[in-house]
Chain A
Amino acid sequence: MAELVQGQPTQPQNQIDEAKRQKLLELVRGRALARPTDLADDEVMVWPSLVVVEAVCAAVFLLILTFLSIFVNAPLLARANPNQTPNPSKAPWYFLNMQELLLHMDPGLAGVIVPSVTLVLLAAIPYVDRSPLGVGILGTSAKGRKIIGFTTVFTIVVIVALIVLDEVRGRGTVFGIGSYLADKGAPRELTEIVLPTLVMLGGIATLMILVHVIFKPTRREMIIALFTGFYVGYWILTIFGTSFRGVGQDLTWPWDLPLTHH
């Protein structure tokens, strides 16, 4: 400490501490005080070891950004016209996952309840999984990484299947079951809220059961499965919304899309 404060105004308090320290040094064998510059074997100085990494990352990014910005212009379409609705109209790309959900269920459920519940569950993760297991290791363990792979494939297959099935059977009809029940006089809440909720919960439950049976996971590993389902699902739905929804929000190949979104 004395080394570090050298050259800075010394406060009278420090002199007292200094005197105390001298006494202490007589009693304690070996090095009594750790100095800020004492490095353990697994430690490095932030300057330069970390600062260099940060500076290089920032410089590389700035270089890429500058070149991108020189060669690719941000889009600017015609002036806003409330009387001319583009087809399709799309939200910003990171909300297109919600817009994709919107095609299949009640708007309040897709646009507000599902995202809100997801955010609350995300925030709750550290209060559910408190074990120090796997900190600092990507995917926790070999088993954890297998669960990530399994869940990724499961999520892609299930979401693509659900979207295509719903599209084929009549979009927003919960694969035709909803419209069948509606014909029988079932209320809108049942067909547009309860049924889609059951489908979503069913998908999550199926994932949990499969992971449980196949992997016998710890709590951390089960949460890995759930988070991966959310994470992959977010990207899959986003990709559907950005690249596979054309005129009238019909399923379209990306190269047939009328409008690019940025």
Chain B
Amino acid sequence: MRREQTLADRITSSSVWRSVVRHGYPDNQRNQALIIASNVFLHIHPVKIKRYATKVTYTFCLGGLSFFMFLVLVLTGVLLMFYYIPSSDQAYQSMKDIEASVTFGQLMRNMHRWSAQGMVIAVFLHMGRVFYTGSYKPPREFNWVIGVLLLVVTFLLSFTGYLLPWDQLAYWAITVGTQIGGAAPIVGPKVDFLLKGGKEIGQPTLIRFYTLHVIFLPLIAAFLMAVHFWRIRKDGGISGPL
């Protein structure tokens, strides 16, 4: 006996729908496998995994959350880019405008700021989780190294973003920060000049930090994350008791 066709059935069996979604409703194993395998975003996952890998108290979602914060940062960051002006004359005023005049501007800025802080914490805690569960051991050595690089990129992303508001907090934090880098033996002064684009923090510094922050470092991060996530699968999924 067939049940009556609902509107939902008609839509999901239409040729337009079927051209987009090639599998049926994922209420059986075949469709559950297809939904993962045929979706470009989901197919970073395998179709099936060990049961322990789904335990929240094992991973605390820290790696996933780091990635999710990155996505939030990309989204809010792009929205902020519509209004932010990377000029030492206008940057501060554009920040004021984002906070006072732009619809949801303050909210976007807050979400960007707090996610950035959260991502540094999450990435660092993720490293701790991976270490204490011995998840760096062969065959996962290389992915641990990629992870260390991602930690550095996360620090740099946050650090370059720190200057952009062009307020006292930004200016002096970057002054101290670049001084630390500039203290390197032999190459120190060169590093300092390279970071600032001059002897003092000014327009050349701002545009360098801006470019690093909005395109260069995010691309590096995305590249490393792609390798990082792919490697998890290739190294046999997330670690678990042998």
Query: Which residues on A are within 8 Å of B, measured CB to CB?
Result: 3-4, 7-8, 36-37, 39, 42-51, 53-54, 57-58, 61-62, 65-66, 68-70, 72-82, 84-86, 89-95, 98-99, 102, 106-108, 110-113, 119, 122-123, 125-127, 129-140, 148, 220, 224, 227, 231, 234, 261-262
Contact = CB atoms under 8 A, between A and B. Distances in A.
21 contacts: A7-B22, A37-B29, A43-B48, A43-B50, A46-B48, A65-B72, A65-B115, A65-B118, A69-B110, A72-B114, A76-B95, A81-B171, A84-B168, A94-B120, A111-B183, A113-B185, A125-B144, A126-B140, A130-B137, A135-B239, A136-B133
A234 B117 CA distance: 16
A140 B111 contact: no
Contacts of B166: 79-80
Interface of B: 22, 26, 29-30, 32-37, 42, 45-54, 56, 58, 61, 64-65, 68-69, 72, 88, 92, 95-96, 99, 106-107, 109-115, 117-118, 120, 124, 128, 131-138, 140-141, 144-145, 148, 152, 155, 158-159, 162, 165-173, 175-177, 179-181, 183-185, 188, 200-201, 239-242
A178 to B, nearest CB: 18
A94 B53 contact: no
Contacts of B128: 231
A128 to B, nearest CB: 10
B36 A54 contact: no
Contact of B111 (A65, A108, A129, A137): A65
B35 to A, nearest CB: 5
A127 B148 CA distance: 14
B133 A72 contact: no
Given A74-B113, A76-B99, A131 B137 contact: yes
